[in-house]
Chains A and B, each alone.
Chain A
């Protein structure tokens, strides 16, 4: 398959105050692929994906050096419009965080603020499509006006995915999306990720080796803020070049 680089990080350094969280990260993310980031807790995986939609801007003490290019444009260039960047780069969080609104309003929140839908019918259509893509439509189509928080954990997370895809992004960042879910809900989400990759570019942070193997085509191993090794998932898990990667994926540390 002909792969195109969607996101390219060059010499990315991130500091939280005095503490450096990421060291010279150079990582290419391919379009319409799932890239998994693995590594022990606190190694900088989440920090890295939060750089891609500039979520770290919210944190006062966070300083970023280096470049991240998306479609060849540096997203840290001074004239970047963060709002339209985040419209293009959706995010799903570790803990499901539906807004305290109805299921319908949760999904139409993004389209509304970006003025994507012209009419109520358009909006209905977007909500239905997003929920269908997130494999939640059949479960909630009769209770769209109930609060999003009334759903089960797995349903809430799929609602959050529906919310993220409602604005038609190009990239979806997933920060341990299954860590709060049971195996059945996890299986559903993994299945979903596999389908979504035809439309979106997906980056997923995970602590589960088997999940990385199941869903991703490319894997990066982070340790103490450094990108130790990156390659196709098959290569990383069958034939890693670095000893640390070897130790981590076989469960000897982390």
Chain B
């Protein structure tokens, strides 16, 4: 139904465009005046006023309709015999009513639920009719108002411009609000977590075994020693260490390869090779991370293990090394693409100045080009680090799950992101400390990557200003 309404709005607004455009020409000709803006602005003006308010109404209605219907049903139930039962039971009854109405209810329904389902149906129909009427009124009403304004020769161009501005503002507000919402939900759940677990035990504890918390019933009041024991199960240091360690392995692959290939592409490669080579490297960034995960778990991991076996080393089949190496390959394009850009931004005059003194190409690159591009290169590396820290799929598939505090790259280890996945996969109760730990970890990750990104961007920006 919504689709039909939207189609109607679009068709109507589309025809309004041509109507407005031709109408203003006629009016201008008849009344012998010069229009303030070009005719198509009048068309835009009319069609925007016709479509935007109506679309907004459809959107808001669709979002709020279920809540209102639910409220009506439940308040109806409360007035009838069920007045004394608690909120959760009422909710359950409401779900049953809904199920019956949509035909997914199994078993015999009580009379009350059947009555409720009937009511639910009538509310829905009513809501739909009301919506259609409202949308039609809005379309016709706003179009008429806008048409009236057109005939008065308002400044349609300014009108259109300000409408566009409003639309753009709305879109950016949505983006900002979403971010704020995500941070807010992270914060709320993390605060719940830290009300159970000591903040410093979490940040500095050396033992991560959240399954201990899972068997606890949260309604039981814990003794002090039990509380301490619970707190001790959430020491996140092994995760931080694992994350940092894998990121370190990844960077030690990505930085040299990425940087050197960027130098080659920017300084040595011919323009044809560069045109071809840069996109090819950037393809690496387009491969889905889950595919890298396969590669790490099925090819690189066993390969490292077999090499280790022939050397007589004890290699776990899921190792930090495998995950780190593959992750390094994944972030090569982040380093190389950005570094290539900043190396290219170094003014040619600096290179010529160096050549003119008799410096060779490699001397020029080492002593003039790279120092000049250094801030930008550091920025690109920091961005790559924050990418490596946040990467999930590869480590889930290739690094293992055991929270070992180790610096042996051949051992399995785990990261913040892996643990978040582990904690939230499957059925969970959202009041247990174990589940809430995921949010605390998420918040930590968010703060760290935010800081890294912030530093990286400010470094890059500072560099940009230098040559302007």
Contact = CB atoms under 8 A, between A and B. Distances in A.
Given A97-B347, A100-B371, A55 B356 contact: yes
A58 interface: yes
A110 B358 contact: yes
A83 interface: yes
A63 interface: no
Interface string A78-108: 0000011111001101010111110000000
B353 to A, nearest CB: 4
How extensive is the interface on chain A, given as a class?
20 to 34
B408 interface: no
A216 B379 CA distance: 48
B270 A87 contact: no
Nearest to B349: A97
Most A CB contacts (10 A, CB to CB) among B350, B355, B368 go to B355
A201 B199 CA distance: 74
B372 interface: yes
B342 to A, nearest CB: 13
Interface stretch (A22-30, A159-167, A183-191): A159-167
Contacts of A98: 353
B368 A113 contact: no
B349 A93 contact: yes
B438 to A, nearest CB: 46
A91 B367 contact: no
Given A95-B349, A101-B371, A113 B356 contact: no
A237 interface: no
B356 A91 contact: yes
A91 B367 CA distance: 19
A169 B355 CA distance: 14
Contacts of B355: 55, 58, 86
A53 interface: yes
A74 B238 CA distance: 69
A180 to B, nearest CB: 11
A84 B352 contact: no
Contact of A90 (B349, B356, B372, B466): B356
A141 interface: no
Interface in B314-352: 347, 349-352
Contact of A97 (B352, B360, B367, B371): B352
Contact of B358 (A60, A93, A114): A114
Contacts of B270: 60
Contact of A99 (B271, B372, B466): B372
Contacts of B347: 97
B285 to A, nearest CB: 29
Contacts of A163: 353, 357
A91 B358 CA distance: 10
Interface string B253-287: 00000000000000000110000000000000000
Contact of B354 (A84, A87, A99): A99
A109 B357 contact: yes
Contact of B368 (A90, A95, A99, A164): A99
Contacts of A97: 347, 349-350, 352-353
B173 to A, nearest CB: 41
B309 interface: no
Interface string A197-212: 0000000000000000
Contact of B352 (A58, A90, A167): A58
B36 to A, nearest CB: 46
Most B CB contacts (10 A, CB to CB) among A84, A95, A99 go to A99
A167 B358 contact: yes
B356 A86 contact: yes
A164 B357 contact: yes
A53 B355 CA distance: 9
B360 A93 contact: no
Contact of A55 (B271, B350, B352): B352
Contacts of A90: 356-357
B363 to A, nearest CB: 5
A164 B356 contact: yes
Contacts of B363: 113
B365 to A, nearest CB: 12
B82 interface: no
Nearest to B359: A113
Given A97-B347, A99-B372, A83 B360 contact: yes
A95 B351 CA distance: 13
Given A97-B347, A97-B350, A83 B358 contact: yes
Nearest to A86: B358
Contacts of B352: 55, 58, 91, 93, 97
Nearest to B348: A58
A83 B466 CA distance: 30
B355 to A, nearest CB: 6
Contacts of B372: 99-100
7 contacts: A60-B271, A86-B356, A99-B353, A99-B367, A114-B358, A160-B353, A167-B357
In order of increasing CB-CB distance, the 4 nearest A-B pairs are A86-B358, A91-B356, A87-B358, A97-B349
Given A85-B358, A109-B354, A114-B358, 12 more contacts: A55-B355, A60-B271, A86-B357, A93-B353, A97-B349, A99-B367, A100-B368, A109-B357, A110-B357, A110-B359, A113-B357, A113-B367
